[in-house]
Chain A
Amino acid sequence: MTLKESTRNPEQAIARHQVKAGDYFLGEIKQGQTFRLVDLEGNQAADVLFYNAKDPSERYSAMDTIRHQGNLYLGAGTTLISNANNELLDIVADTCGRHDTLGGACATESNTVRYSLEKRCMHACRDSWMLAIAEHPEFGIHKRDITHNINFFMNVPVTAQGGLTFADGISAPGKYVELTAKMDIVMLISNCPQLNNPCNGYNPTPIDVIVWN
């Protein structure tokens, strides 16, 4: 795991948004702009999708990114790759060390399988995404465009025997990750409301989005 601190000063940022636990953020980041996601209280998971702002059928691809870098985990130095093999963003700073892109997002439907059939009505990331795209048709994003995401601040190690574990515990209050956009992108964040697993310490908390030119 490589840690890399940023020299950017939040006082010089052009925008700052706080995303409460269980809320979404949907907005455009221009080519060349850098943004920071801050895990304000620690052990929060930010479930994020990225799109080419001009064509949402081009978007972040977990599988193409994994294959491109030959590694399952994301961190400083990772370039995020689209499903059309273009470079979307670079991770330019990271004080957490590792981010997951295998685990996907929680959904009310998968909650019934993972935890119990009675958990159907507990709020979940995919519902936040559904609300975001329903409330903002101007972005042209549809359910078919909702695919495999990044879980920033989440640690999901794979074992040599092929097991998948939800270890977490590597993030902490104030840890952050910074990305620079290599094209105009749309970012869709679900700040995870999951209450059933350690991805956010059973206590969902807010994150900050800070943007610089």
Chain B
Amino acid sequence: MSKLIYTTTLPGNGHWSLELRRGSLMTITDIEGGANVGMLFYNPRNLLERYNAPDTLKCQHTFKLERGNCLYSDMGRIFASIVEDHSANGAGNWHDTVCGTSNARSVALRWGQRDYQTDRNQWLQNGYDAFLVELAKYGLSRADMASNINWFSKVVADDAGNIHLDTGNACAGNSVSLRFEMDTLVVLHTCPHPLNNAENYPFKPVQIELGEADPVTADDYCKNFRPENQRGFQNNELYYLAAKN
């Protein structure tokens, strides 16, 4: 990160949103291990343009997200690139974008009812409600909720397609850095992954650092990760050529 501007810590079960400019860098760090960050992206200029998980996966022939992957909108453009992706045990990170987010029913079944009156800030917030709260601030509703990313959550599938959450490398100190290639509304929460089967609701804090990214160079790792990404970057250039203001 060429210039660090702001650092904050979000507790587990929190939610937040902010609009990031093109060229921003966001680094998320799993402070204690076992964190999950649910995230959605929108184009603030046209909120109908949003993160599209199937396009992201099939454009890059992948089921998981890792360093080098670009995060695509439904308009063939790139919201952000995964420029750094560190795992404390060196095994590499693996991020999920297929399993969606927890909801009031799934959290209640596993850990009990949400009750702010009793529990105050230890209430059992769920990902779906957390997203709804943030989305409503921009005039968005459940109709606008697309599939989200679950940072730090590794979901693997066997040959028959059966899935499970592998918590083996969810270590303290894992981090991921996103370089924003478009102006992007980022909506996020720190609620547990929907497949988390921990005995107790996992309150897992994350650190978020915001700064300015180094400029994209011709030999950029993400841009050259796949030929598809080179074309995605060209679509972004066209967008800013046509809509410069």
Question: Interface on A for B, CB 8 Å cutoff?
Answer: 56-58, 61-64, 66-67, 70-73, 83-85, 102-105, 107, 109-114, 116-117, 126, 142-145, 147-148, 156-160, 162-166
Contacts and interface: CB of A to CB of B under 8 A. Distances in A.
B10 interface: no
Interface of B: 48, 52-55, 57-59, 61-64, 66, 72, 74-77, 94, 98-101, 103, 105, 141-147, 156-164, 194-195, 228, 231-232, 234-235
Nearest to B231: A113
A104 B55 contact: yes
Given A63-B100, A112-B235, A158 B143 contact: no
A64 B58 contact: no
Most buried by B among A66, A73, A165: A66
B61 A62 contact: no
Given A144-B143, A164-B61, 11 more contacts: A56-B143, A72-B157, A73-B160, A85-B103, A102-B54, A104-B52, A104-B53, A109-B235, A114-B228, A126-B74, A164-B63
A201 B159 CA distance: 24
Contacts of A105: 54
Contacts of A164: 57-58, 61-63
Nearest to B102: A67
10 contacts: A70-B162, A73-B160, A102-B54, A110-B55, A113-B59, A147-B146, A157-B161, A160-B157, A164-B57, A164-B61
Given A71-B162, A85-B105, A107-B76, A165 B61 contact: yes
Contacts of B105: 85
Contacts of B52: 104, 110
Contacts of A142: 143
B191 to A, nearest CB: 14
B58 A117 contact: no
